[in-house]
Amino acid sequence: MADILISEVGPRDGLQSIDRIMPTEAKKRWIAAEAAAGVREIEVGSFVPPSLLPQMADSAEIVAFACTIPGLNVVALVPNAKGAARAIEAGAHAISIPFSMSETHSLKNVRKSHAQMLEEIAVIAGLAKAARVHFAVGLSTAFGCTMEGPVEEDQVVRLAVASAEAGAQEFSLSDTTGYANPAQVKRLVRAVKAGVGAERMTTLHLHNTRGLGLANALAGLEEGITTLDASLGGLGGCPFAPGASGNIVTEDLVFMLEAMGVNTGIDLKALLDVRAIVAEALPGEPLYGFTPDAGLPLGFEGIAA
């Protein structure tokens, strides 16, 4: 099986999902420590107005810092063209915009219809191309929506194709609400690949809300997915299911892959040590993970040969 890229999203998705604000210097220590452990890509912030997400107010400074770390691909989430321009100005290597496959969710979340979102994607694609910045679209609520329920797979494919025609270079299927199951993951990955091409349908952003996160990740790998998003300690929880874990736990995902002989390039022992930085900066914030609780099994080397 080919090498798999683990994209750490905790500094963005994790931190913007909790009320408290992590100090800027702690964010920098976290990002630097993960990069030192072998994490090659980190989504470090979001260029949403600080009035809406004060947790992300320092994103420009964080992007600038992260760009000084050799070999790290620095990703930023953007909500619109204005945010994209700010992310590009800050120096992000790649930008991503969430595009809800549920129109009800899109209207409530960003106040834009599907047609309006496609117009926004086209504008951002132009900005990214001019700046030579990679531009990805996250197909959010692709597996189901708490407002609409099931989302038609044909609709996901149609909107993915339209986004590609508007200039999106890469796609992620996002289980925003924790609805996905392995059979559905396989089916939808195949369908979107058929629509936009395998080289563009590369990534899964999965939640562990109902305990299926790693099973869904494995299903994606079996369909040729090469990038998996995860959050250290599953940070952020899930706003749609109080008390349930949110993002896939980075440490558990790395353990599963390395135990299978899949090379992530990450030193798991070093990664486990990074939790102390987050715990110190966010005292009392729940951190999830079976691997950190149980420890590594005897003879586990941390990085597959």
- pLDDT value at residue 268: 97
Query: How many domains does the structure of the chain reveal?
Result: 1
CA distance 108 to 59: 24
Phi and psi based region of residue 123 (left: phi greater than 0; alpha: psi -120 to 50; beta: remaining): alpha
* Phi, psi dihedral angles at 122 (to 5 degrees): -65, -40
Q: Return the DSSP state at 100.
A: E
Question: Percent helix, strand, coil in the chain (nearest 5)?
Answer: 45, 15, 40
Assigned domain for 45 exists: yes
Assigned domain for 143 exists: yes
CA distance 9 to 132: 22
Assigned domain for 100 exists: yes
The CATH number of residue 224's host domain is 3.20.20.70
- pLDDT value at residue 242: 56
Element at 271 (helix H, strand E): helix 268-281
109, 101 in Cβ contact below 8 A? no
- pLDDT value at residue 126: 98
Element at 229 (helix H, strand E): strand 227-230
CA distance 237 to 244: 6
Walk along the chain (305 residues) in steps of 10 and give the mean pLDDT of each run.
Answer: 86 93 98 98 96 96 98 97 98 97 90 96 98 98 91 97 98 94 98 98 95 97 98 79 76 97 96 98 93 93 52
- pLDDT value at residue 305: 37
Assigned domain for 131 exists: yes
- pLDDT value at residue 304: 42
Domain that holds residue 219: 5-294
Assigned domain for 304 exists: no
Taking the whole predicted model, whether its pTM rises above 0.85 is answered as yes
Place of tokens 């349930």: 244
* Phi, psi dihedral angles at 186 (to 5 degrees): -60, -45
By annotation, the residues acting in catalysis are 238
Assigned domain for 225 exists: yes
Assigned domain for 299 exists: no
Assigned domain for 303 exists: no
- pLDDT value at residue 301: 72
